[in-house]
A and B are shown apart, each in its own frame.
Chain A
């Protein structure tokens, strides 16, 4: 347990240095700032439309994936590139502890940043309309998407130095291009899983408005959380097997 928490804390420090904390912190607040500048003096209904536009146009498809994939790809990728992986694996601890701690560390940072972004957008909406019921659903949605991205990009960072590039191509071309055109593939899009969680927790009128956008086949909350947990477990098991079996030259 002591080793697991030490690796998790070290991972958090490693993926979120001072400069990154400032840059990503400001990036996380960007959607809220844009929202603030564009919602002033709108009536409640128009503000809700603008809020949903912000969520499906900026927060989920851009902010959440980019923050999560850059953070996640460096969790194991930096260790491999800097030669510190041998420092970790040559210790009397199971490889499963290493993989779990690295993934948890990446999830913690990505989730915190994306939750900050969600809370800020929700807070602006709350201040404008007096309705605060969307803050927690949006935070949960951001966290769910962060978990899925970290589950994918922590192990990918181990395999290739180009994990961020591959991630950006995945997000911008596949998720925001192909899946947007073919909504039947929406279950393969991590940020849409986050949006499903948001939709599942949000008030009914918001959920129905999200469905009307046709941006995704939104799953129920239970199904979304189940899928997220499954992806996380597969990622931990897979990363553990890779650390056990692959040569770490």
Chain B
């Protein structure tokens, strides 16, 4: 029985007191955690060290201190383990002159896949890119490129899949499709790590979360525990409407609203329950005949939530 929520019982990836610094900048600081079968969300604001963590897990960069073992080995010195690892990086990482089919086939060839044709078609089908597979990647939208990268990482049927902000740039339909794909892969017993800076996104994909802030482990455990830890500090939401003051006055009557302020004609609402507020604000707006043109959590607010978790830890 594992008591530390950052550790799992049958790990495929072990991170042992790992730090990484680039000159004077500390990107990851003394992180110890492990990952096993299923989907784990790697949550944290932009610049928290998520990408550095994923790059260290694959061996692309070495830890300055500590040790990482993937399937029992450090990948950098045991390249054969790469047949079991797939990485979907956040940056472009595609060859613009190739079609998606050529790109996935290239990945299959380099990964030593035996039946390249079948594996390529299976991977393209998994991300629903069949119709566009013969178009050049240069003409792809960001969301389509993300799917092509996912297909290229799936083509070798990896046991471990690391995805760095894979939903960036995807439309709602693509998003739903990818989320259900990641869930299915996790249910099949693969180790899936998905990084994101959006809790709601991670919540829909994974049951377990590792939260990092400023390179440090901020929280770990199931999503409900993380939510509960976050519930006692407010989110700040930016609401744009044509009846700012009327809506502000009405929202103050709502128990889930901790406070409101109006700055430059924009309404800022503080709440402890972002999801409930998201459902309540449209209803309240209808009551006072206000039209909502924008409703979004402020990034600074999310970062303060993450920082709060670090302090609490």
Say which residue of A83, A88, A247, A249 sits within 8 Å of B110 (CB atoms). A88
Closest to A5 in B: B109
Q: Is the CB of B55 within 8 A of A6?
A: no
Mark each residue of chain A from 87 to 101: 1 if its CB lies under 8 Å from any CB of chain B, else 0: 111111111000000
A45 to B215, CA, bound (A): 74
Q: A2-B109, A3-B109, A7-B110 are in contact. Are A87 and B93 (CB under 8 A)?
A: yes
Among the listed stretches A9-17, A26-34, A182-190, which one makes contact with chain B, having 4 or more residues with CB under 8 Å of it? A9-17
State whether B95 touches A89 (Cβ < 8 A): no
Q: Nearest residue in A to B59 (C-beta to C-beta)?
A: A90
Contacts of B93 in A (CB 8 A): 82-84, 86-87
| A92 to B107 CA separation, bound complex (whole angstroms) | 11
Smallest Cβ distance from A29 to chain B, in angstroms? 24
CB-based contact B97/A92 at 8 Å: no
Is A178 interfacial (CB-CB < 8 Å)?
no
Known: A92-B80, A92-B81, A248-B61. A87 touches B107 (CB 8 A): yes
Q: Which residues of B contact A94 (CB under 8 A)?
A: 79
List the B residue with the shortest CB-CB distance to A91.
B110
B206 is an interface residue with CB less than 8 A from chain A: no
A91 touches B95 (CB 8 A): no
Chain B contacts of A2 at CB under 8 A? Answer: 109, 112
Question: Hey, which chain B residues are within 8 Å of A82, CB to CB?
Answer: 92-96
Q: Does B295 contact A (CB under 8 A)?
A: no
The 10 closest A-B pairs by CB, nearest first: A247-B61, A83-B91, A91-B110, A92-B83, A83-B93, A6-B109, A92-B82, A248-B60, A92-B80, A3-B110
Question: Quick check: B95 and A92 within 8 Å, CB to CB?
Answer: no
- Bound Cα distance A95, B152 (Å): 20
20 contacts between A and B (CB under 8 A): A3-B112, A6-B109, A10-B95, A13-B97, A14-B97, A82-B93, A84-B95, A86-B55, A86-B87, A87-B93, A91-B107, A93-B79, A94-B79, A244-B76, A247-B61, A247-B62, A248-B61, A249-B52, A249-B55, A249-B60
Interface residues of A in 8-49 (CB under 8 A from B): 10, 13-14, 17
How far is the CB of B193 from the nearest CB of chain A, in Å?
14
Q: Chain B interface residue count: which class?
A: 20 to 34
A247 touches B60 (CB 8 A): yes
Residue B58 at the chain A interface, CB threshold 8 Å: yes
A89 to B111, CA, bound (A): 10
CB distance from A197 to the nearest CB of B (A): 33
**A137, B110: Cα distance in complex, Å:** 38
Q: When the two chains form their complex, are residues B60 and A84 in contact, meaning their CB atoms are under 8 A apart?
A: no
Is residue B85 within 8 Å, beta carbon to beta carbon, of the partner chain?
yes
In angstroms, Cα B82 to Cα A7, docked, is 17
Residues in B72-122 with C-beta less than 8 Å from chain A: 76, 79-83, 85, 87, 89, 91-98, 106-107, 109-112
A 202-224 binary contact with B (CB < 8 Å = 1; else 0):
00000000000000000000000
> Closest B-chain residue to A3, C-beta based?
B110
Interchain CA distance A7-B107 in the complex, whole Å = 10
Q: How far is the CB of B164 from chain A (nearest CB, A)?
A: 10
The answer to whether B61 touches A93, judged by C-beta atoms less than 8 angstroms apart, is no
* B-facing residues in A99-152 (Cβ within 8 Å): none
Pairwise interchain contact A6-B60, C-beta atoms closer than 8 A: no
Measured between beta carbons, the chain B residues less than 8 angstroms from A93 are 79, 110, 112
| B82 A91 Cβ-Cβ under 8 A | yes
B79 to chain A: which residues have CB within 8 Å? 91-95
Best-surrounded residue of B82, B83, B91, B106 (most CB of chain A within 10 A): B106
Bound: A3/B107 CA distance, A: 10
> CA A82 – CA B95 in complex, angstroms?
8
Which residues of A are found within 8 Å of B60, using beta-carbon distances? Answer: 86, 89-90, 247-249
Beta-carbon contact of A91 and B111 below 8 Å: yes
| Nearest neighbor of A98 in chain B, beta-carbon distance | B110
Name B112's contact: one of A10, A92, A248, A249 (CB within 8 Å).
Answer: A92
For A3, list chain B residues within 8 Å (CB).
Answer: 109-110, 112
B112 neighbours in A (Cβ, 8 Å): 2-3, 92-93
Closest chain-A Cβ to B185's Cβ sits at a distance in Å of: 18
Whole-angstrom distance between the Cβ of A129 and the nearest chain B Cβ: 42
Neighbouring A residues of B92 by C-beta, 8 Å? 82-84
Nearest CB to that of A84 among chain B residues? B93
Docked CA distance A151–B25 (Å)? 35
**Best-surrounded residue of A7, A86, A90, A95 (most CB of chain B within 10 A):** A90
**A10, B62: Cβ atoms closer than 8 Å:** no
Complex CA distance for A195 and B107, rounded to whole angstroms: 41
Provide the residues of chain B in CB contact with A89, threshold 8 Å. 60
